[in-house]
């Protein structure tokens, strides 16, 4: 297993370099001028040219690329063109809210989707299964921002049970931290609950038809052990794969939820940076996401080994 | 694993029924402005949100009152020599910066010099200045080369960049580099450690601030602060901000979108009111360098097809919330005149078509730049495109985000090489009321504001306006500026949208100012 980890980490290096290069080029090719954004709408051309020069944006592309890559290889993600703050500091300040939102959403997803999926398969074609299936179709169909606004309308504006917006760090207390994450987590989790419920149901239906399950039942094994110890464990591989994909999709998809609920996370950081053409922040954030994807995929592969002893790398 | 999962579930349930923490008990009010604050230096950038931040932290020598007249602010007394060439200013006693250092003439001079490098009015003033001299710690003189009628107006300039006064050690920073240390002498201190660019900025009351004795009037008069702390938070989504104010989670919204205003009807404890004499003017600017608008007759024909009410209905909706105004200096200006404006009345399209025919227009393409991500501009370009098409112009409306538009409008190339014909914008009337700062009246041609209007007559009128010391004569010059701007179609005012703020009772009665400032009315 250690050799797998080491091989994967080495393999990540060219991936990250390619991502960094592609992002660098795409950003420079996109129209827009960060110096103009900084200077404001009514700044003179001389002022803008001066700012561009100070920020080395008037240097040849190859020189800008060499500077950026050199910094990256030294672990320096650069400085925000707009706010003049280190990119690493900006990302680390925003990481907590995004991680909190993503983790609570994923936890909620797993807690809801797997039991519902398992029970849907067990009660195949009965009312529970039909209601669950219809609900997942509805959840897929409704965009996240609609779900978010509806939840706000009901639970915040009408009932005044939960806050409309904002984020409280965990350091300020577990209660307030979770209080502000309930609605955003539900919003973000909706489509993933639907997805993983359906995958769980389908995978369980496959496994429940296998001979070894029939044998276990014939031997008198209690049904809950049949479901959760025998069937679910064998059905887990595709579920874990989809959860891995969902984690990466969720991290990149938090921006809508962060905007609706005003959570100052990495998603809103990158959107603002793209609109302002803040090249170092966009590059740094995408690189950071690349590392996340590499690690999540590695973790998924390691979990396979734990779930299925037959799998060896 | 099971136990920890159960614990998390229980914790979440408890969290739902638990009351919110009092972790933020020290915060007096939470404010949402029109955009995120990222750049702190109000001289380095002309961004409006940074200007608003500047008014919290810094002070100015003079300030505009509600009548648009400059009043002394940091200055105690001043004299003007009989030949109008020497001004002597004495600072008020007791003025201090937030680090405890006294405000001195050296700080003032350094600040003005730094500011003047970035500002059109400042540059003009410095061009006629022989020297700025510190006589003593509290007194400085301005020696002019020739009489200049805009000295006090320049020092009281309310629009970006504002001539804020900062410590000399900071003002000595080249204007091409941003200052990040925020030390001013204004009524609020900036809490540097709490600043998160684009997320939050905090200000606390500056206990050593000495307000003037006169009643507060716009940016002038007494700046009496009754709040202990103002947290400016960024909420990107307008609906979320409205919901948060209704729920008591924030206390002030600088600018509520017109379609969201009705959500406050019947909501107790929230006041909605228009900003004082402050509007957003929609503007249309044509490219004088490229056909067809290099021809003044084509420009006049196009202007004849435009109707302000169409723009305002599309963008604002409710007629109570907009002002039809043909003044190039805006209806908020003390120099306003609507002479010659045609777009304030329903257009005579037949006449406009005839004007176009007579102009010699041969169907040249007209590229209209359409900004799609700025709320106030989204509906403007389609109105222009349709109006011009209705008189027979060949219009190509091109959609893009605002940052791309800013870059695109600098291109002087022909249309087939990425050029453009028309762009629309929205500017606060603060930046339009004086012809010397109104960017749309920049007539320096290719050296000027995009659109590159070139008109020596206009530049001459502006020079006369700047030099004129008699108020009545200045008004006549302003009339001439209006007439010339309309005749040459330097730009087309498309109407003024009244901006509305909304706030909770906790905010108290703030001064009625053109920008969100947080000192009291009394």
With CB atoms and an 8 Å threshold, state whether B46 touches A40.
yes
Query: In whole angstroms, what is the distance from residue B457 CA to residue A137 CA?
Result: 68
Cβ neighbors of A287 (< 8 A, separation 6 or more) are A16, A19, A20, A23, A72, A77
Contact B406 A41 (CB under 8 A): yes
pLDDT at B161 over 50: yes
A 206-235 residues inside an 8 A Cβ radius of B: none
Q: Please tell me the distance from the alpha carbon of residue B85 to that of residue B130, in angstroms, as a whole number.
A: 9
Interchain CB distance below 8 Å, B160 and A40: yes
Reported as a single tens digit per residue, the pLDDT across A97-123 is 999 999 999 999 999 999 999 999 999
Average pLDDT over residues B401-424: 93
Average pLDDT over residues B99-107: 97
Task: Note whether A90 contacts B20, CB cutoff 8 Å.
Answer: no
**Arithmetic mean of pLDDT over chain B:** 91
Residue B520's beta-bridge partner residues?
B510
Helix axes A279-307 and A266-276, enclosed angle (nearest 10):
150
Q: Which of B21, B45, B427 is facing A173, going by the closest CB pair?
A: B21
**Residues on chain A touching B38 (C-beta within 8 angstroms):** 80, 82-83, 276
pLDDT score, position A14: 86
Separation in Å, CA of A4 to nearest CA in chain B? 26
Q: What is the pLDDT tens value at each position of chain A, 313 positions in all?
A: 788 778 877 888 888 888 889 988 888 888 888 888 777 776 778 888 888 887 888 888 888 888 888 888 888 888 898 888 899 999 999 999 999 999 999 999 999 999 999 999 999 999 999 999 999 999 989 998 999 999 999 999 999 999 999 999 999 999 999 999 999 999 999 999 999 999 999 999 999 888 988 998 899 999 888 888 888 888 888 888 888 888 888 877 788 899 899 999 998 899 889 888 898 999 999 888 888 888 888 888 888 777 777 766 6
Q: What is the pLDDT of residue B278?
A: 66
Contacts of B198 in chain A (CB under 8 A): 83, 264, 268-269, 272
Specify the pLDDT at position B522.
67
A40 interaction partners in chain B (CB closer than 8 Å): 45-48, 50, 160
Q: What is the pLDDT of residue A48?
A: 83
Compute the distance between CA of residue B236 and CA of residue B238 in angstroms, rounded to an integer: 6
Sheet strands side by side (includes B129-136): B75-80, B86-91, B139-144, B129-136
Q: What is the pLDDT of residues A56-95, one digit of tens each?
A: 888 888 888 888 888 888 888 888 988 888 999 999 999 9
pLDDT digits (tens, 9 = 90+) for B1-37: 444 444 444 444 443 334 333 344 454 899 999 999 9
Per-residue pLDDT at B158 exceeds 90: yes
Residues of A in contact with B439 (CB under 8 A): 42
**Distance in angstroms (rounded) separating the CA atoms of residues B386 and A243:** 50
Closest residue in A to B5 (Cα–Cα): A111
User: How many interchain CB pairs under 8 A, A with B?
Assistant: 166
A24 C-beta neighbours (distance < 10 Å), count = 20
Q: How far is CA B310 from CA B347, B371, B398, B465, B517, in A?
A: 11, 18, 20, 33, 33
* Subunit contact A83:B240, Cβ cutoff 8 A: no
Task: Please compute the mean of the pLDDT values over residues B366-384 and round it to a whole number.
Answer: 94
A128 exposed, middle or buried (CB, 10 Å; 0-12, 13-18, 19+)? middle
> What distance in Å separates the CA atoms of residue A181 and residue A254, rounded to the nearest whole number?
13
Q: B43 burial class (0-12, 13-18, 19+ CB within 10 angstroms)?
A: buried
- % of chain A surpassing 70 pLDDT: 98
Chain-chain contact of B246 with A157 (C-beta, under 8 angstroms) = yes
Instruction: Report the pLDDT value the prediction gives residue B26, as an integer from 0 to 100.
Output: 54
pLDDT band at B329 (very low <50, low <70, confident <90, very high): very high
Q: Between chains, do B15 and A32 touch, taking CB under 8 Å as contact?
A: no
Gap between the Cα atoms of A236 and A305, Å rounded: 12
Instruction: Kindly report the pTM of this predicted structure.
Output: 0.86
DSSP label of B249:
S
pLDDT at B296: 97
pLDDT at B293: 98
ipTM over 0.90: no
Confidence of residue B90 (pLDDT cuts 50, 70, 90): very high
CA distance A107 to chain B (A): 9
């Amino acid at each position: 297993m250690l050799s797998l980890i080491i091989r994967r980490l080495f393999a990540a290096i060219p991936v990250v370099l390619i991502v960094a290069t592609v992002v660098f080029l795409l950003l420079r090719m996109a129209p827009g001028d960060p110096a103009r954004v900084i200077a404001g709408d009514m700044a003179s051309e001389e002022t803008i040219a001066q700012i561009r020069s100070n920020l080395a944006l008037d240097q040849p592309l190859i020189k800008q690329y060499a500077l950026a890559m050199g910094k990256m290889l030294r672990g320096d993600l650069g400085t925000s063109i707009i706010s003049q703050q280190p990119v690493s500091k900006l990302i680390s300040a925003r990481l907590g809210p995004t991680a909190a939102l993503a983790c609570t959403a994923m936890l909620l997803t797993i807690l809801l989707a797997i039991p519902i999926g398992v029970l849907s398969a067990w009660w195949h074609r009965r009312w529970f299964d039909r209601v669950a299936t219809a609900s997942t179709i509805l959840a897929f169909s409704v965009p996240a921002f609609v779900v978010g606004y509806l939840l706000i309308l009901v639970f915040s504006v009408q009932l005044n049970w939960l806050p409309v917006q904002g984020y409280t760090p965990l350091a300020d207390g577990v209660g307030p931290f979770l209080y502000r994450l309930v609605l955003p987590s539900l919003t973000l989790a909706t489509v993933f609950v639907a997805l993983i419920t359906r995958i769980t149901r389908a995978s369980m239906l496959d496994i429940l038809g296998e001979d070894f399950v029939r044998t276990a039942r014939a031997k008198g094994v209690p049904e809950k052990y049949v479901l959760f110890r025998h069937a679910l464990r064998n059905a887990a591989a595709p579920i874990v794969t989809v959860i891995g994909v969902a984690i990466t999709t969720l991290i990149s998809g938090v921006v809508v939820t962060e905007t609706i609920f005003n959570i100052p996370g990495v998603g809103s950081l990158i959107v603002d940076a793209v609109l302002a053409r803040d090249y170092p922040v966009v590059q740094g954030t995408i690189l950071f996401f690349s590392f996340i994807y590499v690690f999540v995929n590695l973790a998924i592969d390691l979990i396979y080994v734990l779930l299925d002893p037959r799998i060896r790398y | 694993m099971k136990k920890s999962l159960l614990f998390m579930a229980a914790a979440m349930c408890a969290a739902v029924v638990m009351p919110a923490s009092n972790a933020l008990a020290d915060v007096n009010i939470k404010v949402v402005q029109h955009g995120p604050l990222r750049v702190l230096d109000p001289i380095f950038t002309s961004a409006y949100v940074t200007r608003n931040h500047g008014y919290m932290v810094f002070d100015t020598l003079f300030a505009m009152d509600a009548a648009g007249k400059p009043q002394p602010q940091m200055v105690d007394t001043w004299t003007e020599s009989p030949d109008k060439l020497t001004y002597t200013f004495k600072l008020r006693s007791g003025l201090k910066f937030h680090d405890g250092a006294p405000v001195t003439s050296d700080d003032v001079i350094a600040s003005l010099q730094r500011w003047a490098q970035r500002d059109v009015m400042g540059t003009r003033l410095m061009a006629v200045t022989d020297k700025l001299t510190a006589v003593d710690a509290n007194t400085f003189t301005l020696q002019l080369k020739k009489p200049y009628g805009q000295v006090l107006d320049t020092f009281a300039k309310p629009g970006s960049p504002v001539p804020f006064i900062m410590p000399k050690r900071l003002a000595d920073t080249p204007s091409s580099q941003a200052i990040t240390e925020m030390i001013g002498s204004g009524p609020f201190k900036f809490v540097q450690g709490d600043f998160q660019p684009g997320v939050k900025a905090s200000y606390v009351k500056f206990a050593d601030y000495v307000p003037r004795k006169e009643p507060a009037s716009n940016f002038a008069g007494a700046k009496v602060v009754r709040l202990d702390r103002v947290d400016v938070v960024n909420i990107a989504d307008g609906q979320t901000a409205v919901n948060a104010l209704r729920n008591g989670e924030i206390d002030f919204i600088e600018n509520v979108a017109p379609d969201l205003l009705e959500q406050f009807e019947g909501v107790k404890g929230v006041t909605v009111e228009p900003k004082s004499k402050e509007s957003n003017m929609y503007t249309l600017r044509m490219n004088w360098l490229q056909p067809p608008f290099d021809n003044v007759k084509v420009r006049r024909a196009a202007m004849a097809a435009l109707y302000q009410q169409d723009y305002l209905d599309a963008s604002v909706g409710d007629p109570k919330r907009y002002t039809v105004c043909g003044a190039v200096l805006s209806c908020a200006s003390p120099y306003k005149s609507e002479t010659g404006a045609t777009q304030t009345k329903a257009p005579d399209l037949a006449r406009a078509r005839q004007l176009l025919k007579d102009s010699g227009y041969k169907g040249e393409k007209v590229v209209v730049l359409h900004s799609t991500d700025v709320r106030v501009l989204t509906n403007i370009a389609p109105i222009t495109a349709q109006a011009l098409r209705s008189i027979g112009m060949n219009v190509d409306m091109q959609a893009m985000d605002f940052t791309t538009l800013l870059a695109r409008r600098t291109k002087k190339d022909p249309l087939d090489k990425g050029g453009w014909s028309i762009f629309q914008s929205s500017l606060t009337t603060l930046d339009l009321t004086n012809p010397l700062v109104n960017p749309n009246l920049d007539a320096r041609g290719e050296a000027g504001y995009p659109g590159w209007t070139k008109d020596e007559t206009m530049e001459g009128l502006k020079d006369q306006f700047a030099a004129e010391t008699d108020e009545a004569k200045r008004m006549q010059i302003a009339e001439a500026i209006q007439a010339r701007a309309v005749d040459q179609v330097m730009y087309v005012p498309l109407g003024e949208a009244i901006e509305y703020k909304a706030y909770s009772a906790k905010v108290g009665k703030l001064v009625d100012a053109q920008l969100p400032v947080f000192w009291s009315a009394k």
